[in-house]
Chains A and B, each alone.
Chain A
């Protein structure tokens, strides 16, 4: 595998530099202009549901399907339909303009338990490290997402670049059981 994915293949997550060199990552200008999809898929794998899912034709994979997804920043409106369609859970939408002080992230989250709207949660970076707090704005568990919940969280603007997901909530049931039984 090429050195372009060195960080990904040793640490497990792509570095910002690796992402910025990939065709699914919006440029600085569009990144901060309004809601937009961010695709963290930088390895050629046989896959294209993101392309099929986007109603505006803003993601192009083409043929063969191992080509990297290319985001058309002019066409993407940040609707988020591609998020749950991606089997790699590699797409999220960010909105820098959400409010004066806060940005918003809309991301896939496939863990039990789910948070509730209004909950205060902890946001994490690509390595799962805590970055800042956030507030759950919306939880989308529509049938169409095929059991991949999509969560919207607002968080302070200054952490815009770092935040990619939410810290998993403790599965308390299991913990109490285990202290008794294992």
Chain B
């Protein structure tokens, strides 16, 4: 696993907002790779912090999509989360052990998926 909390794009110091407070870390699995995330943060924030920008590929042209609106309106950021496709990652918080997959096209429902 990448030791990421220390080396990612997190804004640790900020003149107005102060230092980033220490939060509990959780582990998520993204396309099979284990990553660290901060408890309670949005999946999209955790991925961006880990240097990930492509969240899904469109159905017809397989072109990549990432974060666009950041507030749950545009659905550009949808991924398959715990086997459920089309989850808006910018407004869905991470949970320990969450399994996140790049979504291809409309995604596939798998048996045994649990609600997020």
Complex Cα distance, B4 from A181, in Å, reads 10
Complex Cα distance, B44 from A151, in Å, reads 37
Question: Are B7 and A180 within 8 A (Cβ)?
Answer: yes
Q: Does B15 count as interface, using CB distance less than 8 angstroms?
A: yes
Q: Within 8 Å CB of A113, what residues of B?
A: 13
> Could you give, for residues 1-38 of chain B, a 1 whenever the CB lies within 8 Å of some chain A CB and a 0 otherwise?
00000011101111110000000000000000000000
Contact of B15 (CB < 8 Å), options: A112, A173, A178, A181: A112
Question: Are B15 and A182 within 8 A (Cβ)?
Answer: no
Complex Cα distance, B53 from A182, in Å, reads 9
Q: Within 8 Å CB of B12, what residues of A?
A: 173
Q: Within 8 Å CB of A20, what residues of B?
A: none
Count A-B contacts at CB 8 Å: 27
Chain B interface size range: 10 to 19
Residues from 136 to 182 in A contacting B, C-beta threshold 8 Å: 147, 149, 173-174, 177-178, 180-182
Q: Which residues of A contact B (CB under 8 A)?
A: 110-114, 147, 149, 173-174, 177-178, 180-182
Apart from A114-B15, A182-B9, list 15 A-B contacts with CB within 8 A: A112-B13, A112-B15, A113-B13, A147-B15, A147-B16, A149-B15, A173-B12, A174-B9, A177-B7, A177-B8, A177-B9, A178-B9, A181-B7, A181-B8, A181-B9
The 4 A-B residue pairs with the shortest CB-CB distance in the complex, in nearest-first order: A181-B51, A112-B15, A112-B13, A147-B16
Q: Which residues of B contact A (CB under 8 A)?
A: 7-9, 11-16, 50-51
Could you list some 27 contacts between A and B, CB below 8 A? A110-B15, A110-B16, A111-B15, A112-B13, A112-B14, A112-B15, A113-B13, A114-B15, A147-B15, A147-B16, A149-B15, A173-B12, A173-B13, A174-B9, A174-B11, A177-B7, A177-B8, A177-B9, A178-B9, A180-B7, A181-B7, A181-B8, A181-B9, A181-B50, A181-B51, A182-B9, A182-B51
